[in-house]
Every structure is written in structure tokens, then in C-alpha cells.
Structure 1
């Protein structure tokens, strides 16, 4: 009998994955593409036969098109009148990804981004209140659809590995909940190719040994895994038994947001300085609001014509992302520096950032412990 580490069932983890992300964004922005087998990548007919598929919509996938495939092969797989190529626009995808991540951060700051289109979230404790992980996942899924007109799938379980298995299981626009009491049976039914981290080489070795499913993996001794795959093999062994202790590694939240400018020639006029601070306050607060952040500290930076630099700051009585309050505070700080002698550089920043309170949000979804 194999000895396994004691599993940890207390966490509630969500893996959220956008459905055919790049292709879905392009179809949203150009509805005519919705009836096409859409491939995101350079058209090899216009690119000397070169190019690789970045992703494809689900219609193109039905013809066998997949990521990392030579784009020239997509030409052979899909009828010409149905096929459409669109060049990747990563600036646009990053912008939409940021909007998706802002919705995630409404729920928790324990967000580990894996790519532009997917992330893990630890919602054992969350920012919305006494809601289950399923309710929180459904809330994000619905909000992404309503606000961004895109679909996402999510998995819920007690660890990252199973949550990712869940998000992949019911795509597109699906949800899968893997509970402790059903986890082993769920894994037993899955092809080994579906286990995250099992690549082509590992998969080939397993298939050649007649190992096809999670159940086959569960029957093997730990020595088989460590002998054939080393340290990675032990991870496969644990995963086959629904064990994964890896934490959600949240990215560090931005500490401050600011703007500054250098004046040539130097500025002496108070009204001009006020107008610059007003512009700074508006830009800063637009960014705060777009990320659902509030600030507690406002800091003014001043540099004189002879390169003397001073900073002055005020801690606000109440958190805010209101540009009027930030601007009024900046004007007060300006009076604390000797700007009558001229200003070479002027800067404004806010810090001690926190996400706004979402406790009053009503999700109105079905109850469940998960």
C-alpha cells in the first residue's frame, strides 16, 4: 500500500479561463467573423507560406486547427470559403485582459495570472462576503459576459491542479465543481493527455506502457513515476491522487500611481501649475477608478531651477479616488514649496492603494458550500 501525504481540503480555488480568447475578442469586435472558421495568425498566402496559429475559434477547431500549428496546415484543413485569418493584436488583447483581471480583483486580491486569458484565485477568503466559490465564479463569469461580451469557463476545487482540470472540462462557457469526495473518481475518468503538465513526450511514454487514464495512474506505485520521470514524476503521482499543495501566488499590488513633467522653460505662474495638477489628478483618478482602487496618501514632488528636490505629502482622512479631492490636496501641498522661485519639475502621486469595498454587492445565485 502506498503512503500518500495527507491532503488539504480547506482551500477554495477557482481557475478562470477565457474561451478562445484572442478569437473571441476579434469576433466580438467584428461580428462578420462569427460565421467563419477564424484563425488568429498571419495568413500564409500573404506571408510567403510562413506563420503559426496563435489560437482559433471553436468552428476552426472542429476542422482540426489548434494553437502552434503551422498556418499553412490550416489552409489545407478548412474549406477556403469558410476560413478567415486575422493578425494578432496583442495590445488589444492586453487591454481586454486587464478588464477581466479587474473583475477578478473585485472578488479577491489572491490572483495568480498564468497568461492573458487565465488565472487562479484563492477565494477561501474573499472581498464580497459570505458567498460560495461557485457563486463567486458564476458572478465573474456573468459579469465578463454582460460587460465585455465574452465568455469564460471556470473550475472550482480545493487545489490549483483540480481547478484547472475543471475549467478545461466543460468548455466553452462552462463550470465544473470538483469536491473532495468526487475528486478521485473524476480523475479516474480523465485521459492522461488531459492532465495539466503532461506533455507530448510524457504522454507518449505513458501510452506505450498502456497507461491511458487517471485510473491507470492511480494503480501505479510511486516508484514507477520517480524512476521514469524523476521529480516531475512524483508530481504526476500526487496529482493522480488529487493532491496539490502549491499556493496561489498573488502578484504584488501596485504601490503607487503618479504623473510628473519637466518644464522648459521653468514655470512661475500659479494658475499654470494649478492646471497641471488638475490634469495630473484627473489622469491618476481615471486609472484608480479603472482598477477599482482608492488611495490614502497624496504626494507632491517639486524640483527647483537649481535642482533642489522636495516632496510633501498628506494622509487623507478618508480613502478616495475622486479627482477633485486629490486636486484640492495637491493645491494645498503646492503652497508648502517655494514655487515662486520657479519650477523645473512638478509631480503628483497617490499611494497606500486598496481596492474599493464590494461588500454591498448582491450576487443572487444558487446556494452551495462550494
Structure 2
């Protein structure tokens, strides 16, 4: 049985800002650029009291908390602190799966530090983070990744919560089904229509009935209800999608988006080439992207995507840009619609031993 720790830094970006500028301590801090086009990267706990949350428009955050201190993000500084924290993880295990700069899974089933239990390791990690960075972290300990992740949120901020194997079913039972990984608002609403509001309700459903309603995902829901999750902690997990997106300076109509789509395609292709180089250096087999994705966000924050899996994948940035622009033709919203965000992605990265992705450019497939 695995011993998994999920470590989640508390209001990471905002906490770094408060640590480095004592005048910000105890004040509502919002990490974001001011302006109608910006979104919140992080909010301190003092700002969260007012309802400010990550990813909300900065202008809304300002309305919710007029006294908030807006601080522009400094990602280079946050990344440097994140590397300090990962060095602390490495003292205990080589099995570390970063999810972002501020959270990670650790498999400590066979720790290199020699500590007796996963709980002791989590305590040592949190103490070392505070001593060496001045920041607090919350942690969850459990026999699986998804339960550990839920547990890390249980006593935030600066908390530790342990779910031993014998307590997993009791811990999950009263939770809303929306707490399970992969259950978004649409799936949660559909489950509630079926009278399934909690994990206990879900557990009471026969697996065959869930499969009939949700297909293969129904089988996964049944497993999660019983705390079953065999996914291992995966260090250096290869990306399955690479994308870039940007919020435009002003809302634009569809026919004005092509230059911005091409700019995002160039950025995505550059990121893809960097990932390819990392794969080569790590000795991983080459992969190729099977799907091209166009992402748009309207002025009223509606998100839509269009995708294409061509017979042959793009072999140059120009081909990616041409196909992404062709996908604009699949957007069927009214002509008066304005768009505030554009993104381009390469998805379904998979190994194909029969193909050589980089044997020269070819014409983009028609979308």
C-alpha cells in the first residue's frame, strides 16, 4: 500500500510577496496587474475573506475588496522559491510529482530519509519549508493521490491532515461528489439530478448503473467512491498537452483574431520544441501531437474550443498556425461577438515509432 503526501503551499504567490515586503503583512494582497484585461494570479487569505479568488477578473477583485493591494506577479522569484521547496522534498524521496510551482505529490512508501511514518515525513517537510523559506504549507497524507489532495485542503492554511487506510471510506462518505477529481459542475449537476449528492450516495449505486449512465467514466466514479486510485506518483511526468494563451488588450471580433492566433501558435511551437529537447535529454521516446486546439474566450467570459486531429501532425510552426487559423472558421457565434482571449494548443502527445515528426514542413490540413 502506498504512502502518499500532497503538499500545497498556502496562498503561495501572495505569501512570497508578504514575506519579502513586511508592509504587506496582514493586508489583503492580490497578485495581478490592474486593469480590465487582467486576471487574479493569487490572493492572500486576507483578500479571500472578501471573496477574491484566483482566475477571477482583476476588476471584479477590486470591486469586492477596494482596499486590496495589487502587486504585479514576479514568476522568476516564485520559481526560485519553488526550487528551494522541491529540494526539501528530495531529501525524503525521489518520487516527487510537481503539479505546479506551489504543489506536489510525494510517494514516501520507501523514504530515503529513514523516518518511520508518512506523517512524520510530512511534519518534517512542513517544518523545513517554514524554517528555510519563511512560508507555510499544508499537507495531506493518505494511501492514494486523490485522497491526499483532498486531505491537504482540510486544515488550510498551515495544516496537516492524515487519512489512514482504515479511515478512507468514512472520510470520503459525507463529501459532496464535486470533491472527487474529474467531477466538474456539469457532471455534479447530472449526478444530483439522479439523486447523488455525496460520495456515500455514489457508493450506493451499482457499478453497472453508473457505466450505463456515464460510460467508462462511470466505472471510474465507482472506484473513486470506494477510495480506489491506482495512479502512481510520476516524477518528470511528460506533458500530454502544450499550449499558450493571451488576454488581448481589447475585445476583438472573430475576423481580427488571425494575427493573435499566429502569435500564440508560434509560442506554442517554441514550447513544443523545448519539450522535445527535454524528452531527448531524458532518454524518452519521441512523441508527436495528434490534435491541434484553438481556444477562445468571449467578452462575457464564455470559453469555447475547436480542435482537429489531422491525418498527419504539423511539422513546423507555420503548419500549426495555418491549421489554428482555419479552425476560426468553425466558430459559429453571432458576428457581433467579441473575444478577449486567444489560445493555441498541441494535444494528445503520443509516441509513434512509425513517424518522424521533424522531417520537414508540409501543407496544413484543411479544417
Between the aligned partners of 2:79 and 2:210, the Cα distance in structure 1 is 39
1:23–1:55 Cα contact (<8 Å) kept: yes
1:172 aligns with 2:157: yes
Displacement, 1:104? 0.1
1:116 aligns with 2:85: no
What is the aligned partner in structure 2 of residue 17 from structure 1?
8
Displacement, 1:41? 1.2
1:89 aligns with 2:80: no
TM-score (norm 1): 0.61
1:165–1:196 Cα contact (<8 Å) kept: no
Displacement, 1:130? 4.0
What is the aligned partner in structure 2 of residue 50 from structure 1?
37
Matches within 5 A, 1:1-370: 10-44=1-35, 49-78=36-65, 80=66, 82-251=67-236
Deviations 1:25-80 (A, max 9, x none): 11111122222221111112xxxx221111211121121111111111112211x2
Displacement, 1:190? 1.4
Which protein, 1 or 2, shows the higher relative CO under an 8 Å CA cutoff with sep ≥ 6? Answer: 1
**Looking at CA atoms only, which structure, 1 or 2, has the larger radius of gyration?**
1
Q: Are residues 119 and 240 of structure 1, via their aligned partners in 2, closer, same or farther at CA, if it must alter by over 3 Å?
A: same
Deviations 1:103-159 (A, max 9, x none): 000000011111111111111101111421000000000000111000101111111
Deviations 1:223-282 (A, max 9, x none): 343234333332222111110000111228xxxxxxxxxxxxxxxxxxxxxxxxxxxxxx
Between the aligned partners of 1:228 and 1:64, the Cα distance in structure 2 is 36
TM-score (norm 2): 0.62
2:115–2:121 Cα contact (<8 Å) kept: no
Between the aligned partners of 1:202 and 1:149, the Cα distance in structure 2 is 40
Between the aligned partners of 2:123 and 2:26, the Cα distance in structure 1 is 28
Displacement, 1:207? 3.0
Between the aligned partners of 2:53 and 2:209, the Cα distance in structure 1 is 32
Displacement, 1:94? 0.8
Between the aligned partners of 1:89 and 1:151, the Cα distance in structure 2 is 19
Gaps of 5+ in 2: 238-367
Gaps of 5+ in 1: 1-9, 253-370
The two structures, once aligned, show a CA RMSD in angstroms of: 1.5
Between the aligned partners of 2:210 and 2:70, the Cα distance in structure 1 is 42
Describe the SS at the equivalent of 1:66: coil
2:97–2:236 Cα contact (<8 Å) kept: yes
Q: How many residues align?
A: 237
Displacement, 1:186? 0.5
2:41–2:54 Cα contact (<8 Å) kept: yes
